[in-house]
Amino acid sequence: MGVLAAVGFVLAVVAAGLGLLAAPTLARLWRRRRIVARPFPAAWREIVRRRVPLARELPPPHRQRLHRHVQVLLAEVPFVGCAGLEVDDEVRVTVAAQAALLLLGRGGSFGNLREVLVYPGHFVVPRREPGAGGVVHEGRDVMAGQSWERGQVVLAWDAVLHGAADPHDGHNVVIHEFAHQLDQDLGGANGAPYVGRGAWQRSWAQVMGAEFDALRQRLAHGEAGVVERYGATSPAEFFAVASEAFFERPAALAAERPALYEQLRRCYRLDPLAW
């Protein structure tokens, strides 16, 4: 394992262990109980069936659990349309159903999430990069999604639809950005979501650091793999990209990177291979 990657993962995981996930208040727990006691609307069920084919593959108990998480997400988190997009149930349910996949085994919620912003298509964000001699280089990036520490997820609706349409291509912007939200529950995204303490933390740091290094080494030799190259950008992006593969290409990931698959299975407390 590279020294920098190992140190980064260890420090991030130790920092995560110093705090607890934001525990919901008793009032919030009672409110959520009332929310999930309501029948799941038939119109929402049809949207999930039509727009999120991965949800159709879930065993019935998982599908029912997904519906409950969708109900809570939509009751607690506002969705805001940007650049003229009108946010309706089609948008809200399609996004929420994909985000809820990450909570099927973990339970709880995205503790830091405050709102979801949705653009009709890919959006442009400014970029500022410091250069040599104090020169700042400015530019613009075209984005399909972003996750911010202060609790916002930003998505392009066309990318949301494209990511959901093929449930086995390993590309899903909603899974990617909401994995960042899990990572940001305790602060900045660093590739160390809460996975438990002690041996669980140490195992996560060791394996994820080694897998991050291995991806960079494979790319340096021109070798492709189930984890896409964008995962080599940083430990945070590695976790998000690996999460896409975990949910959409579990058999390929388990066969090619079994140690990585096992860590993600523990993190999400879920085994997509069992579906």
CATH T-level assignment (fold) for domain 3-127+139-274: Collagenase (Catalytic Domain) (3.40.390)
- Give me the pLDDT at residue 32, please: 93
Per-residue confidence (pLDDT) for residue 130, from 0 to 100: 67
123-130/136-143 β-pairing: antiparallel
Over residues 81-100, mean pLDDT: 98
Average pLDDT over residues 211-232: 96
Give me the pLDDT at residue 162, please: 97
Mean pLDDT over each residue of the chain, to the nearest integer: 89
Band of residue 213 on the pLDDT scale cut at 50, 70, 90: very high
- Asked if residue 121 lies in contact with residue 156, where contact means CB atoms within 8 angstroms, the answer is yes
- pLDDT tens track for 227-252: 999 999 999 999 999 999 999 999 99
Which has the higher per-residue pLDDT, 65 or 186? 65
Q: Is the pLDDT of residue 85 over 70?
A: yes
pLDDT at residue 3 in the model: 44
- Mean pLDDT in residue range 21-32: 76
What DSSP string runs through 198-237?
Answer: THHHHHHHHHHHHHHHHHHHHHHTT---SS-GGGGS-HHH
The residue behind tokens 């990209």 is 241
| Domain range summary for the chain, segments of one domain joined by + | 3-127+139-274
Sheet harboring 145-147: ordered strands across? 79-81, 115-119, 152-156, 145-147
Structure-derived torsion over alpha carbons of residues 51, 174, 143, 126, reported in degrees to the nearest 10:
140
Question: Which residue would you say has higher pLDDT here, 186 or 78?
Answer: 78
**Residue pLDDT, tens place only, 50-64:** 999 999 999 999 999
Q: Residue 136 in 3-state DSSP?
A: strand
- Beta-strand runs (E) in the chain: 79-81, 115-119, 123-130, 136-143, 145-147, 152-156
In this prediction the pTM is 0.86
For residue range 141-189, list pLDDT tens digits in order: 778 899 998 899 999 999 999 999 999 999 999 999 999 999 998 788 8
As a whole number, mean pLDDT of residues 244-272 equals 98
